[in-house]
Amino acid sequence: MVPYSVIFTLILLTSYVSVSTSKASDGMRHDVRHFPDGFLFGTATASYQIEGAWNEDGKSENIWDHMTHENPCVIDDCSNGDIADDSYHQYKRDVEMMRELGLHYYRFSLSWSRILPTSFPDKINEAGVAYYNNLINEMLKYNIEPMVTLYHWDLPQKLQELGGWANPHIVDWFGDYARIAFELFGDRVKYWITMNEPREVCYQGYGYTTKAPRLNIHGIAEYMCAKNLLVAHAKAYHIYDEEYRALYGGTIGITLSITWHEPESEDDAQAAEDENQFEWGIYVHPVFSVTGDFPPVMKEKIAAKSAAQGFARSRLPEFTAEEIEYVRGSSDFLGMNYYTAYLVYRNESVYSAHAVPSFYDDMDCVRYQPANWEGGASKWLKKVSWSFYKSLMKIKEDYNNPIVYITENGYSTTGGLDDDDRILYIREYIDAMLDAIEDGANVQAYTAWSLMDNFEWMQGYTERFGLYEVDYQSPERTRTPRKSAFIFKEMVRSHALDWHYEPDTTVMTIDEGH
């Protein structure tokens, strides 16, 4: 591993970066580091990205089905998730891979339109329910806990036509869907996640064009979406808490995308803090802060900008006092998807850098990634593991040290079984996570993204995140373990991060004692 001190020196050649020192950055790295007792390991996927069977057995259309069929080449390789990894038919192989890795749990999402083809609870699709029952029961047969995400971006198209997350009625629609899921699977599922990455749902899908439904109503739609999504999350949480927790004894939370924003210079400290608040404080603050509500800096800036632009009221919708209390505290844990970081600055140039109105104009910042930060196949994914430590410590300090599950962390390549870049990324990030745990962060689980290659949203199949490589030319979608799968398997087995472990990758076996 390249010492962090070297990385910092390279960064400082081009810009000032105020990085607080962690144990991993002081050159005193331990060759073997052990995880706390009870620490859990898993991998993750999402329904649209792996299931396929897009219109089989009664499933109806979702927004990704609709978008990729109406405009195929909006995706980089003009592909779609019609077949994807064919997990709808290959779920036993998926569970076999979980067994090979020795996972404690597997995080996957339900397809709303596969379970409720009308989008509403008037009709439950028994074939879709049977698929999830089969998957869950196969996992439990081998003591692998299901961690179920209710919503991972594949909204039923019929609900989108009614306004989707911009329609406040979606709070009740989502609550109805959540109750059905708890009824169907709650006796066996003990880990629930309501939403995956609200920022990507709202900013990229409603304010911009990099996720379905690509509304591109910037500065307005992402804020409407944010409020409704948070209240819908709270609705599902309270349904579980009041109707199912005593019956089934599970836990329920929300998963947020956290990205660290570091000031380019000492003068940019406030800009970086504002960026953190806009990018993820918008979702963390209402749920996990003592006061609830949107972050004060967002309320102030957007109200002032809206007034200056001639709007009759702030473009950021207000929570009522009742809604603030309803959302505040509505999560047993913080699910954290973490990948990368940016540098941030603010000067006169930012006032002409963004569309008006827009999310980035509202915060008056510019973020970027230096050219010398190492990256993978995804343009946005730079390897900056020190930022993982800083994000975890900020969550600990600002939000009363909540239970944190790392629900995604991973690295993209263009393919191939020898993925040393992915291995280095995972090891460095886990090293930083262990530093944070030693310094008091309440991290209890780590989830690798992803179990296998999958449909990577707008990038299609051009970027590969899997511990297992998927052969998309094979009708069986053959899955083959990469070198990183062997490294991850050993980490789970030994409950330790061993920097010198080099696996024999000739065969992947199942530990029958798991």
Q: What is the dihedral of CA 389, 394, 397, 399, to 10 degrees?
A: -120
- Hunting for tokens 């059905």 — which residue is that? 180
Is 51 a catalytic site residue?
A: no
CB neighbours of 239 closer than 8 A, spacing ≥ 6?
175, 178, 179, 182
| Residue tagged active-site, from 145, 408, 456, 469 | 408
Tokens of 207: 């304010």
Task: Count helices and strands (H / E) in the chain.
Answer: 19, 13
C-alpha distances (whole Å) from 98 to each of 1, 92, 104 are 28, 10, 9
C-alpha distances (whole Å) from 208 to each of 4, 217, 262 are 35, 7, 24
Burial, 170: exposed, middle or buried (Cβ in 10 Å; 0-12, 13-18, 19+)? buried
- Hunting for tokens 């590969």 — which residue is that? 464
CB neighbours of 243 closer than 8 A, spacing ≥ 6?
179, 182
Burial, 310: exposed, middle or buried (Cβ in 10 Å; 0-12, 13-18, 19+)? exposed
Tokens of 222: 């992402």
Tokens of 98: 């979980």
- Cα 54 to chain centroid, rounded: 23
The answer to whether 251 touches 191, Cβ cutoff 8 Å, is: yes
The answer to whether 416 touches 305, Cβ cutoff 8 Å, is: no
What secondary structure letter does DSSP report for 144? P
Packing angle, helices 386-398 and 420-438, rounded to 10: 30
**Distance from C-alpha of 444 to C-alpha of 220, rounded to nearest angstrom:** 36
Helix, coil or strand: residue 322: helix
**Distance from C-alpha of 299 to C-alpha of 129, rounded to nearest angstrom:** 42
Question: Closest Cα partner for 147 from 90, 183, 185, 106?
Answer: 106
Q: Per DSSP, what are the bridge partners of residue 406?
A: 336, 446
Q: State how beta strands 479-481 and 468-470 pair.
A: antiparallel
| Residue tagged active-site, from 197, 262, 275, 323 | 197
Tokens of 286: 């209402």
Rg (CA), the chain: 22
Question: Closest Cα partner for 42 from 154, 191, 152, 194?
Answer: 191
How far is it between the farthest Cα atoms of the chain? 67
Is 243 a catalytic site residue?
A: no
Q: Which residues are catalytic?
A: 197, 408
